[in-house]
Amino acid sequence: MDLLSPIKDHHSERRLFVGRVIISAIVSVLLLGGVVARLVQLQIVDHELFAEKSQGNRVRIEAVPPIRGLIFDRKGRVIAENEPAYQLELIPEQVDDIDGTLRRLAALDLIDANEIDTYKELSRSGPRFKPVTLKFRLTEEEIANFAIQRPRFPGVDFKPRLVRHYPDGEAVAHAIGYVGALSTSDLQRLDAARYAGTSHTGKTGVENSFESVLHGDAGYRHLITNARGRQVPIRSSELLDTLPVDLSPGPGSNVYLSLDLDLQRLATRALEGRRGAVVALDPWTGEILALVSAPTFDPNLFAVGMTTAQYAELQGNPDRPLFNRAVRGAYPPGSTIKPMLALAALETGATNLTRKSLCIGYFMLPGTTHRYRDWKPEGHGAVDLHDAIEQSCDVYFYEISGDVGIDNIHDYLGRFGLGNLTGIDMSGESKGLVPSRAWKRASFGNRDDQRWYHGETVIASIGQGYMLATPLQLAAAASAMATRGVRYRPHLVAAVEDALTGERSMIRPERQPDVEISNEFYWDEVIAAMHDVMQGPRGTARAVGRGAPYEMAGKSGTAQVVSIAQDEEYNEEELEERLRDHALFLSFAPLDDPRIAVAVIVENGSSGSGVAAPIAKSIMDEYLGYGDNAAQ
């Protein structure tokens, strides 16, 4: 059967086509209108907004660290300065794979592989736009090697920076401290805006305690960058005019110390190969003239960055070169306290200037058989207070100790600053210890241990037992003896100078409570005995003071490190070096017009008069103009 084809309706098809065309035209017009409207908004309405954003995409703000203030000694000689160097830096926000980047840098020996985790932590802890310093001083060879590989390391570059440098290095390390790389704890503690672009901060010494003065304020500058964030040169003056105004960094202030570099160098040489400390003060101002701890270290290693292995070697050194013995080392003061104790005994009536004791080489408490031995086995014979100080007779002080009493000893030695912080403008100071009955009750849990025994007073009278003092405290005590009780707070910083104007702010001496003695004649007698220690006929340090062109006063001391049994004799040759007595000496000069007070301790030096006294004498000679370098 034939199929009939439908008749084509041309009219309907035309009508459908026209409708579709109209709809398409309307949609096209609407879309075009939307595009035009959007262009009008972008180009006219929001022109300033997007122009600013466009500028922001090509302009990078870079922090400019301030120039750290310089540090000078009392004569204007540079102790800490800034030297130009190239540093390898990484900007976290410009590095996609920080871990891989650090490993590739380590493979090129540009960084230490053991430090990768530290760098990763630093990159996460601070703002991502802030550079992380990977190496603080690049050699020319390292710069050349990296320059060839630079395209492989987006976000990593070497930058010219100023690096802290200490010309006298080891001689000043413990006095002024050092700067080190910012740690994660530093970043949390410090003002992020002020430390933008900064890689180092003061860690110890003056560098730390005067950080706020030395650091300065960060600035910033605007850079034109390409799509990869790398800086490109500005070739158009019009483009330069469109950049915002840069902010120049504010330099840190300069600091002038009271230290004398000549004394620092001399004391460092004198303690070379030993463990110990030297502190010298101006008795009438509290200015610290020398502060040396030995062994020492090179602070420049911290400024340029040391490896974990290098730091571990310093930390693991049994001689503890990083430990500041001058300020933090607490030692039994030994017989150096005898002049202060003599004043306490005179004030309390425990003795007088004419009382004599018979020293037979030992002392025994009534009803006991224990012998408290004198340093001189055969004894000193009949001695009065003057003789006891001059010859350092232990037995005399053993005998009067009970009448003075431990609480009076605590009180009077405390007046000289022992057992108390001196308040030096440096962190980390040790308080030392002068025991008392109250201290012992508070320090021990067992009732029997809390009780104070007469025998403990006996050994405290020669600076042993629980008693501890720092070399700084002993120097301050020597200063108080020199001034007959006038005391000043020890300080290192003498002035702060504005780096831009040159205006200096002087640090005024700060008085501390005086040592008040009812009878001024007591000062004369005790100081006369200290003078005879060094320049008298039987003084323990007469060999050191003999023939000096000026008069001086001093007191030697030894501090026992290991106990010796009653039936044994102290034999230095049979003891290991680290078990021998510490050698101590304090002194001041000139006698009638004191200008310098010195305290010296030599660990395991055995003899205060034979080992420590010559060091103190050389320091006084140098400062008073009688040293080997006086004519220079």
Q: How far apart are CA 321 and CA 126, in angstroms?
A: 32
Rounded Cα distance between 86 and 142, Å, is: 10
Which strand (E) or helix (H) includes residue 293?
strand 288-294
- Neighbouring-strand partners of residue 161: 85
**Burial profile 85-114: b = 16 or more Cβ within 10 angstroms, e = fewer:** bbbbbbbbebbeebeebbebbbeeebbbee
Phi-psi region for residue 500, left (φ > 0), alpha (ψ -120 to 50) or beta?
alpha
Give the number of other CB atoms < 10 A from CB of residue 384.
19
d(CA 513, CA 300): 39
Give the pairing type, strands 596-602 and 582-589: antiparallel
3-state secondary structure 130-170: CCEEEECCCCHHHHHHHHHHHHHCCCEEEEEEEEEECCCHH
Which among 599, 557, 70, 80 is positioned nearest to 292, based on CA atoms? Answer: 599
Distance CA 89, CA 158 (A): 6
Per-position DSSP letters for 562-624, written without gaps between them: S---TT----GGGS-GGGSPEEEEEEEESSSS--EEEEEEETT---IIIIIHHHHHHHHHHHH
* 625 torsion bin: left (phi>0), alpha (psi -120 to 50), beta (else): left
392 is catalytic: no
Tokens of 488: 């000043």
Q: Using the structure block, give the residue that is written with the tokens 């540009």.
A: 110
Q: Closest Cα to residue 605, out of 560, 567, 539?
A: 560
Distance, in Å, from the CA atom of 41 to the CA atom of 587, rounded to the nearest integer, reads 85
Query: What SS3 class is residue 469?
Result: strand
**How far apart (Å, rounded) are the C-alpha atoms in residues 493 and 430?**
19
Q: What CA–CA distance (Å, rounded) separates 492 from 210?
A: 11
- The span from the CA of 470 to the CA of 582, in Å, is 13
- Alpha-carbon distance of 499 to 68, in angstroms, equals 10
Closest CA to 306 of 167, 200, 171, 162: 200
Structure tokens at 380: 């000193």
Nearest partner of 557 among 581, 535, 591, 580, judged by Cα? 581
SS3 360: coil
Per annotation, catalytic residue among 123, 209, 335, 556: 335
Rounded CA separation 340/517 (Å): 11
CB atoms within 10 A of CB 348: 16
- The total of other beta-carbon atoms located within 10 Å of residue 632's CB is 6
Q: How far apart are CA 109 and CA 114, in angstroms?
A: 12
Catalytic residues: 335
